Structure 1
């Protein structure tokens, strides 16, 4: 069997102590996640993070830093994901933007509200990224180098 990790991006978008999350279907269950998704061909990590946030929430954002790089193997399917998590600030909401299939909608939640929804987390990475962000784990966007 050939092992291939999946490269993904996610964003932590905060506004006055509340964080932008995505409520989406995973199978037939509604779950919560940061705006996140896979890197597309010929796309930079920064472009992917901005695109995924728009496609899943209808929000334009400005990236402000890198929260962390995480390796996660999903217990449900054994797939390994390398997630690059960015911080960003909200710029403009497009309420009529057509969201990706399976997306219920964007939700602004405090950390405490998120904790109350733990059975509905898509993965444990959700709280880890939020807590790293809240602990001041923010690195320069220059950490991400463009391809040559």
Structure 2
């Protein structure tokens, strides 16, 4: 029986750079991801991503669009339904980062593609969401009814 997990992730762009988090996931090297995480019971995707961005980056953001629902199947039989968002940064807050996060980085698309070639992105969805955001793929936030 496959386990389905509901998550949310956010592409945050400032100029030519994207806000990424660096985290340890059990392998020999750290991996990079957008701010992302699980949608908690009683929470919708919009509330979840705003919470996750603050917890993982200490940035307050304004959501500007919805990239869509990404479905990802892992080799271990898990299925992730990941809601992708686009946001603009508003202000950095004086808060500690989630303990699983080593650091945050503002990276260019070239740097992110280089990390992908080194197998240092958390999943294939990381680069896909950024490429979708850059291509203009976006839906109004109103398509989500929480």
Which TM-score band (shorter chain)? over 0.9
Output one character per residue of 1:75-122: Cα deviation in whole Å (capped at 9) or x when no partner.
Answer: 3x321100000000101112x412112210111111101111122111
Provide the secondary structure at the position in 2 that maps to 1:137: coil
Q: How does 1:136-147 map to 2 (within 5 A)?
A: 136-146=136-146
CA distance in 1, matches of 2:5, 2:62: 24
Q: Tell me what 2:133 maps to.
A: 133
Kindly indicate whether the alpha-carbon contact (under 8 Å) linking 1:68 and 1:129 is maintained by their aligned counterparts in 2. no
Kindly indicate whether the alpha-carbon contact (under 8 Å) linking 1:8 and 1:37 is maintained by their aligned counterparts in 2. yes
Output one character per residue of 1:40-69: Cα deviation in whole Å (capped at 9) or x when no partner.
Answer: 111121010110011111111111110121
Q: How does 1:32-111 map to 2 (within 5 A)?
A: 32-75=32-75, 77-94=76-93, 96-111=94-109
Q: CA RMSD in A?
A: 1.1
TM-score (norm 2): 0.93
Q: After the TM superposition, which parts of structure 1 deviate over 3 Å for at least 4 consecutive aligned residues? A: none
Kindly indicate whether the alpha-carbon contact (under 8 Å) linking 2:5 and 2:79 is maintained by their aligned counterparts in 1. yes
TM-score (norm 1): 0.92
- 1:120 counterpart = 2:129: no
CA distance in 2, matches of 1:74, 1:59: 30
Aligned residues: 143
Provide the secondary structure at the position in 2 that maps to 1:81: strand
Provide the secondary structure at the position in 2 that maps to 1:5: strand
Q: Where do 5+ consecutive residues of structure 1 fail to align?
A: none
Q: Where do 5+ consecutive residues of structure 2 fail to align?
A: none
